[in-house]
Amino acid sequence: MKSKSLKSFTLIVASVLFFRCLPDDTTDTPQQADCGLLTSIDAFTYENAATNPYTIISADLTEDCLAVVITAVGCDGLSWDIQLVDSAEVDESNPPQRDIKIFLVNIEACLIQVTRTAFFDVSTLQIENEDEIILNLDGFNQAINYIY
């Protein structure tokens, strides 16, 4: 009887471990990612907030979702606090332009180069009576054309 219970228990544990290790079918694209990180418009934070060092690898905009790939030192990047902040100023050009900046709070003590993608909802940056703006992301050498 003990042997049967042990086999059942082992089968249950093996099944649970197997299903926990199956790969996720979703991909990390802006259309499927949670763009719940809202972009804040805050001149004081934009000018004064401290950030840990990072490098922007790429920035891609799909609809209202900006996907920014950054690299910084850390352990795994899972505890990073990443925010996107707008300067609260609109440059009167055609199309109008906004300056945005990423702020990274990284308390990880490891020294491994980590790459992570952060997703931001940029819909708060839309300007009334406009259908297009240019986003100038600090540290990224290309303007981002946002059509909405």
Q: In what order do the strands lie in the sheet with 97-105?
A: 40-41, 81-91, 97-105, 132-137, 144-147
Q: Which residues pair with 136 in a beta bridge?
A: 99
Q: What is the pLDDT of residue 32?
A: 40
pLDDT at position 9 is 39
The pair of three-digit structure tokens given for residue 94, joined into one six-digit string: 């055609």
**pLDDT tens across the length of the chain (148 residues):** 555 544 443 334 334 333 333 334 434 433 444 687 899 999 999 999 999 999 999 999 999 999 999 999 999 999 999 999 999 999 999 999 999 999 999 999 999 999 999 999 999 999 999 999 999 999 999 999 999 9
Q: What is the pTM of this model?
A: 0.75
Pair 133, 125: CB distance under 8 Å = yes
On whether the CB atoms of residues 70 and 120 are closer than 8 A, the answer is no
